[in-house]
Chain A
Amino acid sequence: MAVADWIRRRIADATRPRPDPVAERTRALAVRDNEYGFDAFGMGRDQVRTAVRVAGWLYRHYFRAEAKGLEHVPATGRVLIVSNHSGQLPYDGMVLSAACMLDAAQPRLLRSMVEHFVPTVPFASYLMARWGQIIGTPENCRRLLEDDEAILVFPEGARGISKPFSKRYQLAPFGLGFMRLALATNTPIVPVAVIGAEEQAPAVNLRMVAKLLGTPSFPVVPYPPFVGVVPLPVKYRLHFGEPMVFTGDPDEDDEAITEKVTAVKRRIESLIHVGLRERKHVFW
């Protein structure tokens, strides 16, 4: 009898409706969707939920990420989240998005910008839009910021993500576009340091091959499949800094804008230093 009881209890336990934090958090998202559940950029709440489940698993169980300073991400209103970029594939973007979805007091959907070729790739073309990503044009960003959304920016761009292991935690030159947008739309900037991603795919750059193929770089990792598709299970640490507010003319010449961009870069560098000092080990 005890066994039957135990089995019954197990079944009841397994079939009991469980709280679904991901579903609750997606429901709590403040997005402007229409009668069919899509926003103007093709984001679908249902599809975001699926993406957050995947990103959430990576965030909690694979990378065991710790996020500090999430209170600096405003609960409402426009914001640019500016971060260092690395790791061959943008897992850092997924983890940052998961942090803002799952662990921020008010869930925020981070919208990141994808390269212009992505809409030509089957499946990626529409999945990126359903998950809230946008094509990286200034017009798109301006529109979203004016709608008080949160945008994730990697000013290092492709230079950052393909950086070799020897250049880890050294920031590549920053683009200036994000600062002009911030000035034009009066948007606060939240600097973030992502610690861990820079070791997830320790790559060397084969300059000869890159030259032959005409690509900016050709990173390979020293284990199969030799491209950085599967990241090492490093531990992620996210350090969000205090919002920075800039004022000025968005159409100023590059020199004046560079000065402001450098201020952001310095903030991220110092967050990286703090993060690296605090951590005991790359993997735990």
Chain B
Amino acid sequence: MTGAAPKKVVITGIAGRLGRVVARALHHDPQFVLEGLDRREFVGRPKDVVHHQVDVRSKKARDVFRAGDVAALVHMGLMHDPRATAADVYSWNVAGTMKLLEYCQTYRVPKVVVLSSADVYGPRPDNPQFLSEDAPLLAAQRFPQMRDLVEIDHLASTFLWKAREIETVVLRPVHILGSVHNAPSNYLRLDPVPTLLGFDPMVQVIHERDVARAVSAALAPGVRGIYNVVGPGQVPLSVVLRELGRRTLPIPHPLAKPLWSLAFRAGVSSYPVAEFDFIRYICMVDGSRAAKDLGFAARSSLRETILAVDEPA
């Protein structure tokens, strides 16, 4: 690609921790110039990255695309705040995503990468060990708080078929571990870690830097589709906790729900009760399609990935 003009990549949610990890990875690549789109301030912004500190639903966000020179959108600016009101989260996540996809179609952005999550399949006792990309997204069935994320995934998957001229890629990574402040990493940073007595599901984890690599692989020309993104493998939850040297607090599951919702309402815990199912049942995916089509394989080992939650950012 020497000689070609660098391609402009707009990243939403760039100011978040995962956003910064992805931005750092893409920043190293000379074929891209980055632009951030986030209503938060971009701390530690490299000089040559333009940052638009605006709401994605605003007119100013449209102006970012209006020039028509955006080569790709990486959409990862989703709000996961469990304490925000449902209306706020819905408007930000779903309406925001709809707007962005609309801009992409109007201003002919040839590539759209949406970072969804493998959580959208939902943890269920009768899940097959490895879910393929065609499995139904059932997370919202037992877990209404997940409805937005499932809907965004649906929006993006529909967009993949609706806007045939655009290469849309939907990535569904497994639990992302690292300096990020997402639910799985925060959970593993608790001490003692509450677990459910008598339950120890297999979990899949991926290092945040491997997620950045997957995003970068998805930006390659010609790639479109829905991909599960898996890390170096799967282990029982108890092994993850042992590797991190955490004490555990096993709670009998009939007591767990009332105790946990009490803790949530008291502000002690920030995990919605329904997320318990993620430490009770499996929700694992098959990443072979991404391995075949994107040539993606995680580089961090299982141990490195697990220990990444304790690394300073």
Contacts and interface: CB of A to CB of B under 8 A. Distances in A.
Interface string B278-313: 001110000000000000000001110000000000
Interface in B174-215: 196-202
A40 B126 contact: no
A38 interface: yes
Nearest to A116: B126
Contact of B128 (A117, A120, A122, A135): A135
Interface stretch (A89-97, A137-145, A247-255): A137-145
A122 B198 contact: yes
A166 interface: no
A43 B280 CA distance: 17
A129 interface: yes
Contact of A35 (B127, B196, B202, B303): B303
B199 A122 contact: yes
Contacts of B234: 34, 38, 40, 42
Contacts, number: 73
A119 interface: yes
A126 interface: yes
Contacts of A34: 233-235, 302
A40 B129 contact: yes
Contacts of A139: 128-130
Contacts of A6: none
A143 B130 contact: yes
B198 A143 contact: no
B239 interface: yes
Of A35, A36, A126, A130, most buried by chain B (CB within 10 Å of CB) is A36
A76 interface: no
A119 B301 contact: no
A103 to B, nearest CB: 29
Given A120-B125, A135-B128, A38 B253 contact: no
A179 interface: no
Interface in A106-130: 116-126, 129-130
Nearest to A119: B125
Contacts of B235: 34, 36, 38
A134 interface: yes
B129 A126 contact: no
A36 B128 contact: no
A140 B128 contact: yes
A41 B125 contact: no
A36 B235 CA distance: 7
Interface in B219-276: 233-236, 239, 252-253
Contacts of B282: 119
Nearest to B132: A139
Nearest to B233: A34
Interface in B123-143: 125-130
A134 B235 CA distance: 15
A38 B202 CA distance: 9
A120 B125 CA distance: 6
Contacts of B126: 116, 119, 135, 137
B129 A119 contact: no
A206 B239 CA distance: 45
A126 B199 contact: yes
A117 B129 contact: no
B85 to A, nearest CB: 32
A119 B125 CA distance: 5
Given A34-B235, A116-B125, A143-B129, A42 B199 contact: no
Given A122-B198, A122-B252, 20 more contacts: A34-B302, A36-B235, A36-B239, A36-B302, A38-B234, A40-B129, A40-B130, A40-B202, A40-B233, A40-B234, A42-B201, A42-B236, A117-B125, A119-B281, A125-B199, A134-B129, A135-B128, A137-B126, A137-B128, A139-B130
* In the A-B complex, the 6 residue pairs with the closest CB atoms: A122-B198, A139-B128, A119-B125, A126-B200, A116-B126, A123-B198
25 contacts: A36-B239, A38-B234, A38-B235, A40-B130, A40-B202, A40-B234, A41-B202, A42-B236, A116-B125, A118-B125, A119-B125, A119-B281, A122-B198, A125-B198, A125-B280, A126-B198, A126-B200, A129-B202, A135-B125, A135-B126, A135-B128, A135-B129, A139-B128, A139-B129, A143-B129
